[in-house]
């Protein structure tokens, strides 16, 4: 009860009044200040007791005084303890004229039928300033969010969409109240709606970010492809607060990409068609080569046998030289044509990938001697073919391909060398690995043309009237490569040419089985 006594004692009251850190003003019914505590005097910038007897409106800024006067009159008619102004912002004025924000609460009491009001005044300058800063910052952030070039939405921790920024609203042409909740789904392309919701549900369960693309109807009614990136949001206290989504119109990129993909698809299709056509043409060519090779041989057989018969019928010692010359020409031409047919057939089979190796074990020395013996008829006059074989006798190789290669190179050496020259053939058999060198002393290959030598249909400019298809060396090279070998050459125009073939050792056990 000491407290009660303290309040009832004048000294106790005075301590409360003097030491309070809130400003206290006691005003009478006419609006004059009866009492002011030191805190109030200090706040308003008056000396002690200087306020006493001054109208309370002295402490109120000029433009509020008239209104205050009315309020005061009204208050004394029906006094109650309350805070003043309610939601209103209140201002007070210091002695030096400075105006500052305040909070005021009012109390009242009677002394001898005299009504008195007590005002408790708090300077809220600091709070107002702080609030202003907070407001400004919030406005700043809001303006960033509202004016962001991307559309932004926010959903709360219960997946409820609560915010759409200005960019979003501008895009859809709807107001925020329409978009909130699931209203925004109205503008999503119907087929994309469930996809959108499922993506959110899935990510939400795991609190994971997610990316989706969907079509959103723009204010003008056009559906545009939107890319949405959304991530969970957390408060500074790491409390999950929902999701923030950022949406960008990617319609143009997507359209461009789709167009590009379509174009790629079309080009691929065209390419495939072209390849198919090419394949068809290639097959037709192949069939033609095969057919031509076959069908040409019948008339060629008739011509050749008829020429032979004519030769025999007009023959003998009395044969006219001119007839003999022409019969020989026909025979040579038929042989050339037959060679062309054979070359075409060979190259076609190589290109179709229909050529396979068949290995035979053979005595290299005997094999090449036989081969040279059969080629003697092709030689020009005093030409000589010298053979030199070193190393082991036996070798495993595809005899037909090897024969073809050697025949071709030797017949070239004969064709492109003059009468009386020598052709040297060196063969080294190093335990099955062969090195074959064919050296002639013929017209050689012009240096600038050497790079084309193995090209299909290439013929050097100095071959003149010598017959040939330009396929012989192409086939030779392909055969050598088929046998895993290499072919190289050195040549000097007017001096001669040297071809070197290297064939690797073939594993007999592995390759002889089944042949």
Which residues contact another protein by CB under 8 A?
A: 290, 293-295, 297-298, 300-306, 308-309, 312, 334, 338, 341-342, 345, 400
CA atoms of 475 and 409, how far apart (whole Å): 11
Identify whether the C-beta of residue 92 lies closer than 8 Å to the C-beta of residue 61.
yes
Least separation, in Å, of the C-beta of 499 and another protein?
Answer: 25
For another protein, the closer CB: 290 or 450: 290
Least separation, in Å, of the C-beta of 400 and another protein?
Answer: 7
CA atoms of 287 and 451, how far apart (whole Å): 31
Identify whether the C-beta of residue 432 lies closer than 8 Å to the C-beta of residue 393.
no
Instruction: For residue 326, give both structure tokens.
Output: 């022409």
CA atoms of 3 and 25, how far apart (whole Å): 23
Least separation, in Å, of the C-beta of 304 and another protein?
Answer: 4
Instruction: For residue 57, give both structure tokens.
Output: 């409106």
For another protein, the closer CB: 350 or 425: 350
Least separation, in Å, of the C-beta of 356 and another protein?
Answer: 9
**For 48, left (φ over 0), alpha (ψ -120 to 50), or beta?**
beta
Least separation, in Å, of the C-beta of 459 and another protein?
Answer: 23
For another protein, the closer CB: 108 or 331: 331
For another protein, the closer CB: 41 or 348: 348
For another protein, the closer CB: 297 or 452: 297
- Provide the strand spans (E) within 40-113: 82-83, 90-93, 99-111
Least separation, in Å, of the C-beta of 350 and another protein?
Answer: 13
For the chain, the 3-state helix, strand and coil shares in percent, each to the nearest 5, are 50, 25, 25
Least separation, in Å, of the C-beta of 274 and another protein?
Answer: 30
For another protein, the closer CB: 338 or 493: 338
CA atoms of 154 and 144, how far apart (whole Å): 14
Least separation, in Å, of the C-beta of 338 and another protein?
Answer: 6
Residue 55 DSSP class: B
Q: Chain-centre distance of CA 379, in angstroms?
A: 65
Least separation, in Å, of the C-beta of 335 and another protein?
Answer: 8
Q: Chain-centre distance of CA 232, in angstroms?
A: 28
Going by C-alpha positions, the residue among 446, 445, 388, 444 that lies closest to residue 418 is: 444
Strands 422-430 and 384-391 turn out to be parallel
User: In the structure, how many helices (H) and strands (E) does the chain have?
Assistant: 14, 18
Residue 461 DSSP class: G
Least separation, in Å, of the C-beta of 290 and another protein?
Answer: 8
Going by C-alpha positions, the residue among 327, 375, 355, 500 that lies closest to residue 427 is: 500
Q: What's the CA dihedral at 504, 508, 514, 515 to 10 degrees? A: 60
For another protein, the closer CB: 83 or 301: 301
Residue 188 DSSP class: B
For another protein, the closer CB: 132 or 515: 515
For another protein, the closer CB: 401 or 459: 401
For another protein, the closer CB: 257 or 305: 305
| DSSP SS3 for 313 | helix
Least separation, in Å, of the C-beta of 358 and another protein?
Answer: 9
User: Quick count: other Cβ atoms within 10 Å of Cβ 490?
Assistant: 14
For another protein, the closer CB: 224 or 401: 401
């Amino acid at each position: 009860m000491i407290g009660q006594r303290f309040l009832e004692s004048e000294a106790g009251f005075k301590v409360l009044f003097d030491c309070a850190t809130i400003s206290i003003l006691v005003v009478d019914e006419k609006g004059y200040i009866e009492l002011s505590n030191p805190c109030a005097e200090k706040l308003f910038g008056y000396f002690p007791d200087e306020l006493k007897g001054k109208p309370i409106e002295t402490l109120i800024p000029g433009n509020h005084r008239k209104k205050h006067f009315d309020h005061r009159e009204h208050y004394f008619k029906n006094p109650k303890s309350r805070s003043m102004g309610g939601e209103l912002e209140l201002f007070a004025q210091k002695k030096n004229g400075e105006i500052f924000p305040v909070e005021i609460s009012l109390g009242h009491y009677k002394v001898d039928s005299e009504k008195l009001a007590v005002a408790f005044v708090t300077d809220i300058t600091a709070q107002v300033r702080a609030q202003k800063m907070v407001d400004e910052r919030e406005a700043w952030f809001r303006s960033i969010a509202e004016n962001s070039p991307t559309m932004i939405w926010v959903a709360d921790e219960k997946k409820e969409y609560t915010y759409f920024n200005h960019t979003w609203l501008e895009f859809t042409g709807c107001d925020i109240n329409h978009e909130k909740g699931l209203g925004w789904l109205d503008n999503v392309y119907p087929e994309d709606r469930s996809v959108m919701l499922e993506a959110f549900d899935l990510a939400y369960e795991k609190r994971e970010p997610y990316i989706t693309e969907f079509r959103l109807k723009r204010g003008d009614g056009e559906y545009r492809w939107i890319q949405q990136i959304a991530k969970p949001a957390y408060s500074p206290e790491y409390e999950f607060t929902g999701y923030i989504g950022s949406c960008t119109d990617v319609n143009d990129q997507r359209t461009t990409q789709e167009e590009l993909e379509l174009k790629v698809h079309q080009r691929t299709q065209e390419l495939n068609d072209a390849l198919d056509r090419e394949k068809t043409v290639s097959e037709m060519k192949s069939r033609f080569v095969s057919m031509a090779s076959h069908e040409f041989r019948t008339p060629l057989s008739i011509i050749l046998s008829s020429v032979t018969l004519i030769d025999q019928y007009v023959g003998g010692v009395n044969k006219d030289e001119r007839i003999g010359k022409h019969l020989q020409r026909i025979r040579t031409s038929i042989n050339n044509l037959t060679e062309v047919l054979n070359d075409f057939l060979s190259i076609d089979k190589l290109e179709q990938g229909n050529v396979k190796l068949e290995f035979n074990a053979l005595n290299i020395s005997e094999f090449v001697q036989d081969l040279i013996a059969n080629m003697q008829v092709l030689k020009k006059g005093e030409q000589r073919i010298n053979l030199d074989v070193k190393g082991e006798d036996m070798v495993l190789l595809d005899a037909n391909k090897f024969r073809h290669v050697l025949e071709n190179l030797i017949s070239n050496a004969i064709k492109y060398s003059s009468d009386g020259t020598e052709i040297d053939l060196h063969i080294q058999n190093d335990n099955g690995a062969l090195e074959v060198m064919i050296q002639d002393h013929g017209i050689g290959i012009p240096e600038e043309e050497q790079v084309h030598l193995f090209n299909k249909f290439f013929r050097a400019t100095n071959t003149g009237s010598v017959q040939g298809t330009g396929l012989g060396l192409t086939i030779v090279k392909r055969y050598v490569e088929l046998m895993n070998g290499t072919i190289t050459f050195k040549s000097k125009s007017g001096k001669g040419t040297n071809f070197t073939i290297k064939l690797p050792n073939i594993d007999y056990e592995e390759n002889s089985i089944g042949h």
